[in-house]
Structure 1
Amino acid sequence: MEMPNKDLGTLFDQLGLESDPASIDAFIARHYPLADDVKVSEAPFWSDTQGTFLKEQMHMDAEWAPVVDELNVRLHAHKAA
């Protein structure tokens, strides 16, 4: 059986959140910018289960890690070089 591609939509599904593009953009806008010293998995808006899932995926460099990293980048403000 072929596994579906992992993207922000499927990550938001996995987290139990609305996963259509407009809902994802609204979620990010609502929580942006995340302070530089806050890891995406430790953000205060996640439930314990959601935060643990994100942390485990990054720690194990699991199949979700690239998508979690994408979310991390979109939630943090990045200064131009």
Structure 2
Amino acid sequence: MEHPDHPFTELFEQLGLASDHAAIKRFIDRHAPIPEDVALPDAPCWNEGQAEFLREALEADADWAEVVDHLDASLRKG
């Protein structure tokens, strides 16, 4: 059974990205800021599968939604 509270590192693993803290910081530094008028799943840094996962997590208000919101906020800072 999945636990509903996913850590940030686990989201990066789910997206197929390096998940150590330095890699997460590099990813955010490289891709932020995402413009306010672009939805997180529509940002150009995602492949089709990643974008679909993010879209489904947000639309379904899945147990991933909270950590996806955290990612969204992190990528909006510039």
Equivalent residue for 1:29? 29
In 1: Cα distance, 2:54 partner to 2:72 partner:
10
CA-based RMSD: 1.7
Runs of at least 4 residues off by over 2 Å: 1-5
In 2: Cα distance, 1:8 partner to 1:18 partner:
11
Structure (1 or 2) with the larger CA radius of gyration: 1
Mark the runs of 5 or more structure 2 residues left unpaired by the alignment.
none
Equivalent residue for 2:62? 62
Mark the runs of 5 or more structure 1 residues left unpaired by the alignment.
none
Q: Percent identity?
A: 46
In 2: Cα distance, 1:2 partner to 1:25 partner:
26
Mapped contact 2:5–2:64 kept (Cα < 8 A):
no
TM norm structure 2? 0.92
Greater length-normalized contact order (CA 8 Å, ≥ 6 residues apart): 2
* DSSP 3-state at the match of 2:66: helix
TM norm structure 1? 0.88
Mapped contact 1:57–1:63 kept (Cα < 8 A):
yes
